[in-house]
């Protein structure tokens, strides 16, 4: 490629501007490995993430760095670090209240009618980023199941492709201003202050949430089966439209009868599945897997 290195403001060499051909192959690499697609208008995001990582590792040449990423185990380790810089991790506690109300008020009462009193609820948060969504589900299930007598156990599995985001999620430690996102009614039982400027999710809830690095493209190969609730919001929007249906078919296979798949409103259009029916009103986008009786 013959790109000359420039000197960055921090004194080290900085990668030069990226031409369109070079951009196209980084887009292809990211899409092949994660499903995330980067349209031309998002080029600055990709380039700045890539440059940040290249500066950290002392690389100044896109082509050489690209070759190294393809180089066996070493490349795989470096890819695991880079992918965090190329993906968006914005997230919040209680991000989409209508979806949470749907789970609490409509789905859980229906689901309970069809299962034994001691059957646990197993939820999955797909693309959980730094954990806020997974802990939100834990807070919600913990409270709802306690109010219903407290006999039923629950567990939340939370997955993401970014190891760095998952480390933050496992630590469950958040800056104090983020507390505003958690409704008052949940705070006393869900969090504990840490110093003057942080809070942590309490151990009782942390113990119910397990984090794993799983690529959504390979989710059906992971040991995830018989799920009651799959929560997948603000992830598929980064994927090419033509790929979303195929991924949803895969997630649908992981659901138990009467299990619920919750997406973000507007994230998918025109998708349907022979064993799933639309569930809930227009403020939400959710699909219920038919019960055993209906399937028979
Ligand atoms: C914008 S965040 C959404 C977080 C959370 N679901 C929410 O709605 O608040 C998108 C997350 O999807 C993850 N992601 C992107 N591609 C993925 C893939 N192929 N497999 C698993 N996670 C992926 C990113 O790492 C990022 O943490």
Task: Determine the pLDDT at residue 295.
Answer: 56
Q: Which CATH class is domain 6-86?
A: mainly alpha
Of the candidates 53, 69, 67, 41, the one whose C-alpha atom is nearest the C-alpha of residue 15 is 53
Residue-wise pLDDT for 72-112, tens only, equals 999 999 999 999 999 999 999 999 999 999 999 999 999 99
Ranges of CATH 3.40.50.150 domains, the chain: 97-295
pLDDT in tens, 184-217: 999 999 999 999 999 999 999 999 999 999 999 9
What's the rounded mean pLDDT across residues 260-285? 96
Q: Are 159 and 250 in contact (CB under 8 A)?
A: no
CATH superfamily of domain region 97-295: Vaccinia Virus protein VP39 (3.40.50.150)
Contact 140, 100 (CB under 8 A): yes
* 65-81 pLDDT tens trace: 999 999 999 999 999 99
Tens-place pLDDT, residues 114-141: 899 889 999 999 999 999 999 999 999 9
pLDDT band at 8 (very low <50, low <70, confident <90, very high): very low
Alpha carbon separation from 89 to 93, 233, 235 (Å, rounded): 13, 12, 10
Q: What percent of the chain has pLDDT over 70?
A: 94
The answer on pLDDT for 296 being more than 80 is: no
Q: Where in the chain is the domain with CATH 1.10.155.10?
A: 6-86
Quote the pLDDT of residue 12.
55
CA-to-CA distance for 148 and 150, rounded, in angstroms?
Answer: 6
Please report the pLDDT score of residue 11 as a whole number. Answer: 42
Cβ neighbours of residue 53 under 8 Å, at least 6 residues apart? 81, 82, 85
| Ligand 1 centre distance from Cα of residue 90 (Å) | 9
**Going by CA atoms, what residue is nearest to atom 3 of ligand 1?**
234
DSSP character string of 27-72: HHHHHHHH-B---GGGHHHHHHHHHHHHHHHT---HHHHHHHHTSH
Atom index in ligand 1 nearest the CA of residue 92 equals: 9
**Ligand 1 centroid from CA 137, angstroms:** 16
The residue to mutate among 134, 234, 235, having the most atoms of ligand 1 within 8 angstroms of its beta carbon, is 235
């Amino acid at each position: 490629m013959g790109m000359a290195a420039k000197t960055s403001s921090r004194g080290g060499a900085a990668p030069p501007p990226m031409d369109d051909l070079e951009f196209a192959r980084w887009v292809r690499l990211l899409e092949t490995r994660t499903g995330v697609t980067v349209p031309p208008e998002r080029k600055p995001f990709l380039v700045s993430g890539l440059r940040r990582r290249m500066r950290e590792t002392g690389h100044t040449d896109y082509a050489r760095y690209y070759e190294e990423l393809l180089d066996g185990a070493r490349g795989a380790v470096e890819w695991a670090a880079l992918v965090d810089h190329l993906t968006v991790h914005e997230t919040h506690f209680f991000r989409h209240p209508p979806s949470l109300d749907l789970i609490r008020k409509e789905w859980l009462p229906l689901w309970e009618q069809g299962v034994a009193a001691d059957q646990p609820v197993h939820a999955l948060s797909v693309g959980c980023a730094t954990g806020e969504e997974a802990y939100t589900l834990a807070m919600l299930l913990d409270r709802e199941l306690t109010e219903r007598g407290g006999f039923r156990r629950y567990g939340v599995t939370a997955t993401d492709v970014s190891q760095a985001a998952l480390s933050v999620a496992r630590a469950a430690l958040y800056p104090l201003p983020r507390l505003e996102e958690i409704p008052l009614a949940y705070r006393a039982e869900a969090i504990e202050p840490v110093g003057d400027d942080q809070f942590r999710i309490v151990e009782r809830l942390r113990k119910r949430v397990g984090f794993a690095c799983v690529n959504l493209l390979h989710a059906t190969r992971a040991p995830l089966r018989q799920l009651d609730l799959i929560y997948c919001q603000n992830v598929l929007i980064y994927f090419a439209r033509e790929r979303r249906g195929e991924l949803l078919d895969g997630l649908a296979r992981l659901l138990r009868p009467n299990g619920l798949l919750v997406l973000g409103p507007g994230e998918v259009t025109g998708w349907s599945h022979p064993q799933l029916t639309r569930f809930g009103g227009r403020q939400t986008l959710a699909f219920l897997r038919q019960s055993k009786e209906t399937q028979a």
